[in-house]
Amino acid sequence: MRVSFKWLQEYVDIPVSPAELADRLTMAGLAVEGLEEPGKEISNVVTGRIVKIEPHPNADRLVVCLVSTGEPELRQIVTGATNVREGHVVPVALEGARLAGGLVIKKARLRGVESRGMLCSGQELGLDPKTLPADQANGIMILPEDTPLGVDVRPVIGLDDVIFDLDLTPNRGDCLSMIGVAREVAALLGQPLRLPRMEVREIPGSSLEGRVRVDILEPGLCRRYVARLFTGVKVGPSPLWMQERLRAAGLRPISNIVDITNYVMLELGQPLHAFDYDRLKDGHIIVRRAHPGETIVTLDGSRRKLEPEMLVIADPGGAVAVAGVMGGLETEVTENTTTVLLESAHFHPTSIRRTSRVLGLRSESSTRFEKGIDLEGCLAAANRAASLLVEIGAGEVVAGAVDNYPSPAAKKTIILRPERVEYILGAEIPREETADLLTRLGFKVQDAGRDLLVNVPSYRVDINLEIDLIEEVARIYGYDRIPASLPYGVTTRGARTGEQALVKRLKEVLVECGLTEVITYSFVSPAVFDRFKVPADSPLRRALSLQNPLSVEQSIMRTMLLPGLLDVLARNFHRRVTSGAIFEVGRVFLPREGEALPEERPVLAAAAMGQGAAGWNRPPLPLDFYYLKGVLETLAARLGLPGLHLERERENPAFHPGRTARVVVDGKTVGVLGELHPDVLEEYELDARVCAFELDLAALLALAGGPPRYQPLPRFPGVRRDLALVVSREVPAADVLRVIRRAGGNLLRSVELFDVYEGEQVKEGCRSLAFSLLFQAGDRTLTDAEVTAQTEAISAALDRELGAELRK
């Protein structure tokens, strides 16, 4: 919000400097991001009238102007501007003048003709070309004909001003207006507030009867609609003072009628819209939702397709405006308009926000509607516009107004306890001062015994609770006046829960194993299911759709973590980072039948490609299936996960069918580990093998047994035995290891697979697996008989369960 200091002084006396006022506003919660002095660099630029224009004798694109600046002698100036005419009043930079950007004007000769100064454009005076009329945006600035000659141009065009750039919080929609800011200034400085004149001189004996009709078909989206009618309208430029104020606020003057609507919006915070009445059918306004497939050409010339949830302003022939966002081109006020219907309405903030975002249209009006406007201010704003119309001589006002107000707003009254104010703020603020502070902000305060009854004004839509009133008291009283104090009360020492501690330890283990943690978006594209070859009937496809997605690429809640990780690897790969291992601990969102809220299931996922870093005594390790398998085994050892092993998996279409396994812990499947399918990698344009796992983190944490306990080194020697077995090629080595460990009992300290052989000495369809077994007791040295007995028990179990034979 850009606020003009000069304009602000029309409503409140300001006995402090702009810099001090900026500090006071910032401390009161209206942050001033910066102060702008638009005419600070401008000097020695005056107003002048072009008396005569002659062709340049030596240049076709230049003309020679004789300019009067109020002095007896005319000034000769050469210019290439094409928009100047004899009689125009323009800004004239004299010799020695300084313009925006530090440009200094000197006497010069252009193609042999002397030029004593320069005719100035708005840009050269520091004005934004977007705020200038279209014919002056790239040409000389044209001033009104009655502008005095030879005077400093800065006050004439509003450059002797200071502009406040306010960064308002979303709840302070009331301060998106000059009156709203002036009210804050008046309360802070203890000055009276002067409201603008609202009296309207109407055409005697006139009436709206039978000329204007307003029907609200969606009272939930449009709580009030006020219409006024102006006749005898003469469309033309608005007065210079109005143009100055619009430019100071960052708006471009267009015409007197449009400028009035923008001026009132800036002044009172109520957006208005002007329709060409003669182009409305039967003068009938209908506030409704858009019909399916309905379109409208908006004022920017674009045809826009409307959706059924959008609110539109229509006549019997169709939509003529997108409510609260932008008007339609068909009923635009033009230079031929003679009768105007003025709209002043209240639209639902959420409806306007959604419509604005879907259409990609952001306007000053939609910004104010989104934050909430004063429901009681619609009629006052329409009357203010009517008053200005008569004041500048742009037309006449038909008596009366159509005010369709289906459900008038109830008054808000809040009980405020003075002792509660003192308790919350920690400052002793007298009861009378509390009442005075609120009264200065426009609240009506009544004495109710020990308490205060506070009536909330309609423009403060953000005030609903007692604590809101206490905040208002603190703002105006001054945060710097509230004494500092130490907190008191019962304190508790913060600590992680058991689950949080496990997750922290899990992340530390993964980082120690060489993985990097990433965090990806919870919002994903529906296309990830096709990319990951998820079957059409898979429950993973039943993802929650967002009601207001930022884009199609982020329109549903994720049901898998791996697509996000693959996006990260692909982004790195396409930037020539071809190796890496990453992991994420996050939640997936799985819809629950018959319930509005989804199940938020914690998941651990990791993905790796390329090669790891080389060590001082080893070459780079491939970041493949066995690397992630080792990560899982390390994780199981560090978290105390019982009996982690892998089982072959061929049914997951996202993974390579021959290089994928289910991850099983304590007999429960907790996830999948494997190499991603080449078709999936092709979807992400990845020309590298990628291995990944995705695990149910809740199941892992439930099975975790805590950190390993210290065990003393064994005092007695162990006995090693090698065991060579012939087993079917279809039997996984992990199954053999599991049987050996179970049958070995407490005396079997460790077992390792050290050889796999397939060849002539092993029968067809089988292979030889050789294991090294370590037997050891903690209280004695084992005898050969004990070790032999354990070895025979293991052999018998292998023969019985897996059909394994000792190799001879």
Question: CB of 82 within 8 A of CB of 184?
Answer: no
pLDDT at site 706 = 67
Residue 635: phi and psi, rounded to 5, are: -65, -45
pLDDT at site 333 = 95
In a domain, 711, yes or no: no
Q: What is the pLDDT of residues 197-218, one digit of tens each?
A: 888 999 999 999 999 999 999 9
Q: Average pLDDT, stretch 761-787?
A: 92
Q: Which string of DSSP letters, residue by residue, matches 381-417?
A: HHHHHHHHHHHTTS-EE-S--EEE-SSPPPPEEEEE-
Query: Are 522 and 649 contained in the same domain?
Result: yes
Question: Looking at the predicted structure, is the pLDDT value of residue 135 above 90?
Answer: no
At 75, which CATH number? 2.40.50.140
pLDDT at site 399 = 95
Residues 6 or more apart whose CB falls under 8 angstroms from that of 108 comprise 114, 115
At 763, which CATH number? 3.30.70.380
Question: Looking at the predicted structure, is the pLDDT value of residue 18 above 90?
Answer: yes
- Domain termination site, one of 371, 404, 437: 404
The residue count of the chain comes to 808
The boundaries of the domain holding residue 181 are 2-37+162-189
In a domain, 599, yes or no: yes
Q: What is the pLDDT of residues 563-580, one digit of tens each?
A: 999 999 999 999 999 999
Question: Looking at the predicted structure, is the pLDDT value of residue 694 above 90?
Answer: yes
pLDDT band at 492 (very low <50, low <70, confident <90, very high): confident
Question: Looking at the predicted structure, is the pLDDT value of residue 266 above 80?
Answer: yes
pLDDT at site 146 = 87
pLDDT at site 588 = 96
- Domain termination site, one of 647, 674, 703: 703
Q: Which amino acid is at 676?
A: L
Residues 6 or more apart whose CB falls under 8 angstroms from that of 434 comprise 416, 418, 421, 452, 473
Tell me which residue has tokens 């301060």.
175
Question: CB of 341 within 8 A of CB of 280?
Answer: yes
pLDDT band at 498 (very low <50, low <70, confident <90, very high): confident
Of 33, 463, 368, nearest to 175 (Cα)?
368
Q: Average pLDDT, stretch 342-353?
A: 96
In a domain, 561, yes or no: yes
Query: Are 595 and 534 contained in the same domain?
Result: yes
Q: Average pLDDT, stretch 55-64?
A: 91
pLDDT at site 693 = 97
At 566, which CATH number? 3.30.930.10
Q: Average pLDDT, stretch 235-264?
A: 93
Q: What is d(CA 502, CA 353) in angstroms, rounded to the nearest whole number?
A: 43
Percentage of the residues of the chain whose pLDDT score is greater than 90: 78
Question: Looking at the predicted structure, is the pLDDT value of residue 615 above 80?
Answer: no
Query: Are 457 and 547 contained in the same domain?
Result: no
Residue 387: phi and psi, rounded to 5, are: -65, -45
Query: Are 313 and 222 contained in the same domain?
Result: yes
Report the SS3 class of residue 209: coil
Tell me which residue has tokens 């990097």.
516
Of 547, 663, 546, 558, nearest to 600 (Cα)?
558
Q: What is d(CA 338, CA 228) in angstroms, rounded to the nearest whole number?
A: 14
Residues 6 or more apart whose CB falls under 8 angstroms from that of 183 comprise 174, 193, 441, 442
Query: Are 247 and 142 contained in the same domain?
Result: no
In a domain, 791, yes or no: yes
Report the SS3 class of residue 789: helix
Domains: count for the chain = 6
In a domain, 198, yes or no: no
In a domain, 486, yes or no: no
Percentage of the residues of the chain whose pLDDT score is greater than 70: 99
Question: Looking at the predicted structure, is the pLDDT value of residue 618 above 80?
Answer: no
Of 650, 611, 608, 599, nearest to 629 (Cα)?
608
Question: CB of 690 within 8 A of CB of 566?
Answer: yes
Q: What is d(CA 662, CA 685) in angstroms, rounded to the nearest whole number?
A: 26
pLDDT at site 248 = 92
Query: Are 124 and 100 contained in the same domain?
Result: yes
Q: What is the pLDDT of residues 551-566, one digit of tens each?
A: 889 999 999 999 999 9
In a domain, 69, yes or no: yes
Q: What is the pLDDT of residues 673-685, one digit of tens each?
A: 999 999 999 999 9
Q: What is the pLDDT of residues 715-753, one digit of tens each?
A: 999 999 999 999 999 898 888 998 999 999 989 999 999
Question: Looking at the predicted structure, is the pLDDT value of residue 585 above 70?
Answer: yes
Tell me which residue has tokens 């938020």.
600
Binding site feature residues:
462, 468, 471-472
Q: What is the pLDDT of residues 166-201, one digit of tens each?
A: 999 999 999 999 999 999 999 999 999 999 988 899
Query: Are 609 and 528 contained in the same domain?
Result: yes
CA 253 to mean position of chain CA atoms: 30
pLDDT band at 85 (very low <50, low <70, confident <90, very high): very high
Question: Looking at the predicted structure, is the pLDDT value of residue 708 above 80?
Answer: no
Query: Are 522 and 622 contained in the same domain?
Result: yes
Bridging pattern class, strands 668-676 and 690-696: antiparallel
- Domain termination site, one of 404, 429, 459: 404
Tell me which residue has tokens 């750039």.
165
Binding site feature residues for Mg(2+):
462, 468, 471-472
pLDDT at site 645 = 86
Q: Average pLDDT, stretch 31-37?
A: 93
Q: What is d(CA 790, CA 788) in angstroms, rounded to the nearest whole number?
A: 5
Query: Are 296 and 364 contained in the same domain?
Result: yes
Query: Are 351 and 394 contained in the same domain?
Result: yes
Which has more confidence, 516 or 705?
516
Max CA pair span of the chain? 131
Query: Are 355 and 275 contained in the same domain?
Result: yes
Query: Are 279 and 144 contained in the same domain?
Result: no
Residues 6 or more apart whose CB falls under 8 angstroms from that of 338 comprise 231, 232, 233, 278
Of 385, 8, 11, nearest to 196 (Cα)?
11
At 8, which CATH number? 3.30.56.10
Question: Looking at the predicted structure, is the pLDDT value of residue 712 above 80?
Answer: yes
pLDDT band at 600 (very low <50, low <70, confident <90, very high): very high
Report the SS3 class of residue 538: coil
